[in-house]
Amino acid sequence: MDAFFMDGPQSDFPTLGELGREPLPFRFDQYKAHIAWCLQQEFGARAITIGKKAIHVHRDDNEKIHADVVPAFTFQLYGPRSGPFGLRGVTENGIALITSEGRRITNFPDQHYANGCAKNDRTRRRYKRVVRILKRLRNHIAENPDAPQSIRAAAKSTASFLIDCLVYNCPDTVFENAEIYDDVVGVLRYLSAVLNDPADGRTLLGMPSWVFWREVNGIKPLFGLEQAWTVAGAASFIGYARAYMEV
């Protein structure tokens, strides 16, 4: 927990001296490699595969161990200085990791869990059910040999996390139908309408809803330069899903 990444206002970025911290004697990639080594000692080198983000642990069917181990540091998000002495505190706590490609990924699992549960309670447990249905639909499209290869590839590349966030940003009223099928149709139609609304040339107040959408954690923008997906890609997946369901 003492090892952490941090972020803050670019015009007044917090320093290690200000926070009373010292640089670590090791890099994140060394930390990840050491965890992989420990797992190899426990499960054997052949059972361990190091991926871009996670360390995959595989065993035979008898032992039934198939797990992803994700090394991460604490992530601390700082706000601007405040008070007469220029003090500042952590505004949000999360986790962060660096991929094998050198890209930092941040996440806020505690906030994600709390907001997701609250959304699920407000929608009579429909929110998470719709998310599961759309993930299964994505898998079905990706594995359907009769679907065009381009559509199968697009479905396969659509992240589960993105689907979760897209459904989360739908109004609670979309989940008020009598049947779960109608909720799924309502979610797809709502997302299709919003994601296909262009933002070019508009004033801030006239922007489409997706510009202001956040991840389920409520902190990170859903669409931005650091994300692995785009609005166009999300709109394409929703379009394929609607066509597949003929809705």
Q: pLDDT at position 14, please?
A: 86
Q: What is the reported pLDDT for 243?
A: 95
- From the list 140, 146, 233, the residue with the least C-alpha distance to 195 is 233
The mean pLDDT value for 23-41 works out to: 95
Residue 106 phi, psi (nearest 5) = -115, 150
Using CA atoms, how far residue 8 sits from 23, 47, 78, 177, in Å, is: 18, 40, 5, 42
In the predicted structure, residue 89 carries a pLDDT above the cut 80:
no
Mean pLDDT of the chain: 92
Give yes or no for a contact between 14 and 8, defined as CB atoms under 8 angstroms apart: yes
Contact of 28 with 70, CB cutoff 8 Å: no
The residue ranges of every structural domain in the chain are: 4-107, 109-245
Residue 60 CB-density burial (10 A; 0-12 exposed, 13-18 middle, 19+ buried): exposed
Q: How confident is the model at residue 84 (pLDDT cuts 50, 70, 90)?
A: low
Q: How do beta strands 48-50 and 55-58 pair?
A: antiparallel
- What is the SS3 assignment for 110? helix
pLDDT, residue 212, reads 95
pLDDT tens, 205-241?
789 999 999 999 999 999 988 898 999 999 999 999 9
What whole-number distance in Å separates Cα of residue 94 and Cα of residue 92? 7
Residue 172 confidence class, pLDDT cut points 50, 70, 90 = very high
The per-residue pLDDT for 153 is 94
